[in-house]
Structure 1
Amino acid sequence: MKLMNHSRRHCLLGGVAAALLPWRAGAQDTAYPSRPLRFVVGFAPGGPADGVTRLFASRLQAQLGQTVNVENVPGAGSTLGIARLSKMTADGYTIGFAHTASLSIGPSLYKNVGYDPLKSLTPVARLCEYVNVLAVRADSQWRSLSDLLAAARAQPGALSYGSAGIGSTNHLSGELLAAKAGVKLTHVPYRGTALAVNDLMGGALQFVFDAPNSAGPLAAAGKIRLLATTGRTRHKLYPDLPSIAETVPDYEFRGWMGVVAPSGLPPALQQRLTRELELAAAAPDTAERLAALGLDVAFGEPHELARVIAAELALWGPLIRSLNLTVQ
């Protein structure tokens, strides 16, 4: 991932810092923050979500001058953490990690998640985005997505793909492909994408969707072959790899990660936290650290995050219901 040049970065940091001056100057009046913050993440320690949370928690801690404690609340595709967050006090001292699974997919997939993604939370910022890549065995007969889809049309249901589980983003990447391309594919859920990739290489599956940072090294080692990315346009890490949309118009999967707070967060505190997260996202090594997790910096204001959540609920909700997918 390319970093912005020095002068541009300097201007961005300077602009964000200038936007924070009224808060810095009025610190004695606002007295915020005057105690530690909690940062709730709905995943177990380790993995990209936890890594992103801890990266931004450390940034906020340095910028705010207060401890930011990460609280892991794993379970139910990260919806348990969001459910707990939604019932906490909206005083600026508790924020939470939000992402495609918990706010765009989970509310349609899980029964009684305990929150409304548009009403129970205050959007604070989008931090980053990610795409998946479609991979086949290195010796696969399919050299392109068109080849794979032709085989799927010739033998409906014969092609199987693996995922990290029902409702995971790599599962729904496949279901969206089937819906948009008008083909029948067979989904095989696993307890983690790594197990699915192992079975792909062993010949038990025909393809998988995986994250670029884990699939890329396997492709470079000649163990799998990448056919396409799930973004609407080509990814900058893979300029020679076509997007699925080049073959299947209107296809796009691009996941996101961000920060939310309980509903009712005062606008002044929302703005403060948004500006602090923007400053953290613009820090010199943030892009490299996110790239190592397969993520791209994509900072977004609260209204942008709210728009993305609403749009994705409209996309994934009908698809999940049409497939009769539910997880207890």
Structure 2
Amino acid sequence: MNHSRRHCLLGGLAAALLPRAAGAQEAAYPSRPLRFLVGFAPGGPADGVTRLFASRLQAQLGQTVIVENVPGAGSTLGVARLSKMAADGYAIGFAHTASLSIGPSLYKNVGYDPLKDLTPVAKVCEYVNVLAVRADSPWRSLADLLAAARSQPGTLSYGSAGIGSTNHLSGELLAAKAGVKLTHVPYRGTALAINDLMSGALQFVFDAPNSAGPLAAAGKLRLLAATGRSRHKLYPDLPAIAETVPDYEFRGWMGVVAPPGLPPGVHQRLTRELELAAAAPDTGKRLAALGLDVAFAGPQEMTRVIAAEIALWDPLIKSLNLSAQ
């Protein structure tokens, strides 16, 4: 065999082995611990969801999954840090409506483009808010509340966990869709707003079902409506806001993202493992305790949801001149 022919054969053999080598690398994933970033301090629903799925992934992948809390700037700080990390599947992060669909419009220079600088891996759950008034409120329906808002523009106030929070924007969306003027009062957490609602300083709040529901059952609050497009399965007798205000919908979500450029094999593996974790028998029960519903969706659907939400929230945030800085 002449030298040039042998060289060609060896070159062809090497080229043929390259895909196998790459496949072997991806097949060996993961071979070391994973880091799972969450943009909130320990405690609370986001941290709870992250730790639940981290424990599931750890068991399924056979590797340690270390949760890292990176609180700040409405969770955008953690997402920004993740977007600059190596795209090798060993760094993943928690993301939700606020960090990808609202935060980039609310915070100046968040440091990432939600549709370009991250790899969507999977959406794992969704949530709605409920509109609650005091149990002795004169309003027994959303129509009653809106009639009062129209007769006394700006006098009805509602509290939230802060500017740009989902319970704040649930109210702004209601004002915009129903054509009423409402006064927003931001707090450092929804619990403080609930206290002021109880004392009569506020007229209503938007809150998570798992915290407002027990207060309603105890006779301290009255639930008037839920923010989903249709009625929530836990509250079949509670009307959706859309039944009174057509085209109203707020349904938040939580999921997992990775840095941009994630290798396809690793990407598919992570999506598949998260789908398995979401389908585990007690996942729904654990999420329900946090006020959340299992709602798995893959990367394409996740991208579609983020784009649709940006189209909804960005104009509203700009029209209200909202800024968290």
TM-score bin, normalised by smaller chain: over 0.9
**Larger CA Rg, structure 1 vs 2:** 2
> Which residue number in structure 2 is paired with residue 76 of structure 1?
73
CA distance in 2, matches of 1:326, 1:48: 24
Percent identical pairs in the alignment equals: 88
> Which residue number in structure 1 is paired with residue 189 of structure 2?
192
CA distance in 2, matches of 1:135, 1:179: 19
Judged with a 3 Å threshold, the aligned counterparts in structure 2 of structure 1 residues 158 and 89 are, in CA distance, closer, same or farther, namely same
> Which residue number in structure 1 is paired with residue 100 of structure 2?
103
Pairwise CA distance, 1:268: 1.2
Q: 2:203 aligns with which of 202, 206, 214?
A: 206
CA distance in 1, matches of 2:174, 2:304: 23
Q: Deviations over 1:117-175 (max 9, x none)?
A: 00000000000000000000100000000000000000100000000000000000000
Partner of 1:70: helix, strand, or coil? strand
Runs of 4+ in 1 over 4 A off after TM superposition: 26-29
Pairwise CA distance, 1:27: 7.0
CA distance in 2, matches of 1:31, 1:175: 49
Q: 2:256 aligns with which of 250, 259, 263?
A: 259
Partner of 2:315: helix, strand, or coil? helix
CA distance in 1, matches of 2:161, 2:74: 11
Pairwise CA distance, 1:30: 2.4
Pairwise CA distance, 1:29: 7.0
Q: 2:277 aligns with which of 280, 283, 300?
A: 280
Work out whether 1:143 is the aligned partner of 2:140: yes
Pairwise CA distance, 1:31: 1.4
CA distance in 2, matches of 1:120, 1:85: 10
Partner of 1:97: helix, strand, or coil? strand
> Which residue number in structure 2 is paired with residue 299 of structure 1?
296
Partner of 1:108: helix, strand, or coil? helix
The Cα RMSD (Å) is 0.9
Pairwise CA distance, 1:55: 0.3
Q: What's the TM-score, normalizing by structure 2?
A: 0.92
Q: Deviations over 1:308-327 (max 9, x none)?
A: 00000000000000000011
Pairwise CA distance, 1:210: 0.2
Partner of 2:213: helix, strand, or coil? helix
In the alignment, structure 1 segments of 5+ residues that lack a partner are 1-25
> Which residue number in structure 2 is paired with residue 18 of structure 1?
none
> Which residue number in structure 1 is paired with residue 176 of structure 2?
179
Q: 2:226 aligns with which of 225, 229, 237?
A: 229
CA distance in 2, matches of 1:276, 1:325: 38
> Which residue number in structure 2 is paired with residue 85 of structure 1?
82
CA distance in 2, matches of 1:117, 1:107: 8
Pairwise CA distance, 1:28: 8.0
Pairwise CA distance, 1:266: 1.1
Q: What's the TM-score, normalizing by structure 1?
A: 0.91
User: Residue 26 of structure 2 contacts residue 266 of structure 2 at CA under 8 Å; is this kept in 1?
Assistant: no
Q: Deviations over 1:271-300 (max 9, x none)?
A: 000000000001110000000000000000
CA distance in 1, matches of 2:214, 2:178: 29
In the alignment, structure 2 segments of 5+ residues that lack a partner are 1-22
CA distance in 1, matches of 2:109, 2:313: 17
